[in-house]
Every structure is written in structure tokens, then in C-alpha cells.
Amino acid sequence: MSLNIGLFLILCLTALALTNGERVRFDNYRVYEVNASNREKLALLKQMEDTSDSLLFLDGVHKINRTVKVVVPPHKVSDFLLVLDVNDIDYNLVEKDLQTALEKDYNQIATRATTDQWSAYQTLDFHYSWLRSLASSYPGNVTLIEGGKSYEKRSILGVKISLHNGKKQKPGIFLEAGIHAREWIAPATATYVIDALLTSTDEQVRELAETYEWYIIPHANPDGYVYTHTTNRMWRKTRQPYGSCYGADPNRNWNVSWNTVGASSNPCSETFAGSAANSEIEVKSLSRYVDSLKSVVKLYISFHSFSQYLLYPNGDTPELPDNVKDYEQVYNVTLKAISKRYDTVYTGGNIYDAIYPAAGSSVDYAYSKTGIRMAFCFELRPNGSFNGNGMELPADQIRPTAEEILDGLVAMVNEVKVLGYFD
């Protein structure tokens, strides 16, 4: 989830793209895997991540013996490799021309309507039109909801699914996706879940749909998502300007231990926490909406990519939740369910230890600030940020990814119920 784009790249490439009406290009940019085997080497990589004006770190530099992928522009290759060689840091070239991989991603954006919307990555306009059509097709069962507006005045649109069966207020489940713009598989999976809750004939899925009220926001960062389609596939943040740089990391901007760890105060960094907690209108308005539901919602879920992790609080501290035993129980049954269909292996644990320190996230906010005792983050396929088929995930894996995650949600919700959190 961590990506550090320097001032040079943002000012020069983005300005060029906007001037010419073209997408940012990464011709002859290379992708390397690097690995720090001790703390001294890790500190050097961290310094490069924090200070370089042109290197793009696709993974956060936080732990020794963990592979980190770095995008290196052509004019920096010699210097970059020299530093690694002098300091005896292991590296491996995984892509000679990043632009080739990005073109594969752009070619997977749907350009026309298809009978299967999960066979390609869809535009924001398509998803929003589809959500609106659901409210018309399922009157009384599907209600359009709005988690606020974006900086560029787009709606943060979603749906509430409530299949009435004569019961009083049902416990709520909140699902947000797409808070990081370039993680296309997250909104695609969220829309698949919406469709399954409304159309699946599977008995267990029907029970999920009929027993709970679902609040699902597929695009928590709509401006950024559009920008990844039109201008820069690698974009991750919001689009609010900060001087000569743009955007903050909306998953470091929530008002919980804001900017204490795993975030940056540099507006040009891709982990920029914003000028203050809730400085991003997307986060400010969405957090208010979540607050308004805190007496109803009992389970909070966030979809991200990549890594194939299931994560739970905390991200700001290694201190574990006081109900960690329950988290571990839900975690274990969920991972087992995800693996059954396609043998896909997920790992994870608490955010701080399993992936990296990250303060100001939506999951930590839900758990620490709203009283929602169960909050999880799914880091979806692939298990690495670069797989030779594009920066994220080939479109033919959208459906398998969503299917196995739906299996996991069934198991997760049932276990949360067994533990009494919906009572």
C-alpha cells in the first residue's frame, strides 16, 4: 500500500500529462526487488525512500528481510545500482520497461458494455450508473447512500441493502473500498459483493443478505480512481492541491493517532498524512457518515490491494486489541474459507506487525473511535505489487478474487455472530 513518488516525477511528468492531455508515461523505467538483510541496510533504503526525488517505492520500507519493489527512472539506474552494490544490498530486476506493464492495465479498462461487468475494470461513471440502477430495480431493498463529496465535487456514492423480512432494525455491516486510487481490484470486488447479496441463490449468501443491513461504498476516493484511468495509473492519493504537490493519503488522514507513525508530513510523499486529521474532504465526510451509523454497524470492512493479507487493529501501535482472541478466531476461519475455492493463501494479523506501522487508517478509526468492535482490512490479490501482468491484477482474476472473498465474508460474518458481536 505504500508508494513514495518524488517531487521531480510529480511536477514534471504530471504537468506534462495535464498539458498534453496524455497519460503519464514510464518508458524504460525499471522495477527492481531489493532486500535489506540488516538494520543498517534497512535504514539506507528508508533514507532513499524518504529523500529521493525520483525513485518510486511500491512497498513500504519497514522490516528487514522483506522484499521491496522500487521503480527506477532510466537516468537513475546506474547511481541506484551503485549504492546497492557498495552497501551489499541484494536486488533483482523484475521489469525492464514499466510502461509495457501499465499498457496492459489500461487495456483492461472496459470501453463498452458487456454481459459480465467483472470481466474488465469499469469506469467510475459505469459503477455509479449501475448503483443508481439498483435503487430503481430493487425499490425498498436498495437505497442510494452518499458518504459525502470529493474535492472535485464527485459523490462518494454507495448503497444500503436491506431486505425486509418483518424484523426490527437489523445489525449493520459497513464495507468501503477504493480509498487508494490505484487499487482497482478493491472497487471491482465490492461491486461483486453487492451483486451477490442481491442475486445469489446460494443459501449462505442469502442469509447474509437477509440477516444484516449492508452499507457499501465501492469508491471512497473517486477523484483518485478517475485520475488513474485518465492520467497516471500509479496515482494513490486524493487530488487536493498542497502547494506544488497534490493529494494526501486518505488512509493516513483519519482522526486516530494522526501522523504518529507510518506516514509523512511531506506533501509530495505518497504517504502524506494531510495538513491535519480529516483535512481531506473525502475522509472528513465519510468519517462523519460512519459516526452516524455507529449504533447500528457492528462489523467494519475495508478492501485494499495487494498482498493477500487479512488485517485487524492496531496500525498505530504494536499493542493488540483487548479482544484479540476473538480477532484471531475470526481471522482463522476467514482465511480457511478463502483458501477452499482456489487454494489461495492469505496471511496477516494485526496491521502494525503483519504489514507495517500505519496510523490514521479507516479500520483503526472504526475500532478505536466509533466503538465498532470488529474491523478488518482485506489486502486482495495479487500477493505482490508487480506480477509481470501489470501493476495490479489481470482482469481475468477479478471474478476469482471476488468469489473467494465472498466465501471469506460468509465465514467472517458467521463467526462474528457466534462470538455475539451482532447481539
Active site residues: 379
At residue 292, φ and ψ (nearest 5 deg) are -70, -15
Tell me how far apart the alpha carbons of residues 252 and 337 are, in angstroms, rounded to a whole number: 30
Tell me how far apart the alpha carbons of residues 58 and 189 are, in angstroms, rounded to a whole number: 22
Tell me how far apart the alpha carbons of residues 60 and 200 are, in angstroms, rounded to a whole number: 38
Tell me how far apart the alpha carbons of residues 202 and 193 are, in angstroms, rounded to a whole number: 13
Q: What letter would DSSP give residue 320?
A: P
Compute the CA torsion angle 118, 120, 125, 128 (nearest 10 deg): 10
Angle in degrees, CA 241, 243, 247, rounded to 5 = 30
**3 state SS of 356:** coil
Residue 93: all three cell numbers together: 530486476
Compute the CA torsion angle 330, 258, 59, 186 (nearest 10 deg): 50
**3 state SS of 92:** strand
Buried b (16+ CB within 10 A) or exposed e, 366-385: bbbebebbbbbbbbbbbebb
Contact present, 416 and 374 (Cβ < 8 Å): yes
Q: How large is the angle between the packed helices 398-418 and 185-199, nearest 10 degrees?
A: 60
In sequence order, the β-bridge partners of residue 246 are: 241
Q: In what order do the strands lie in the sheet with 90-95?
A: 56-57, 68-72, 30-35, 90-95
Q: How many CA atoms are closer than 13 Å to the CA of 43, on its beta-carbon side?
A: 3
Residue 89: all three cell numbers together: 544490498
Residue 8: all three cell numbers together: 521531480
Angle in degrees, CA 36, 258, 46, rounded to 5 = 15
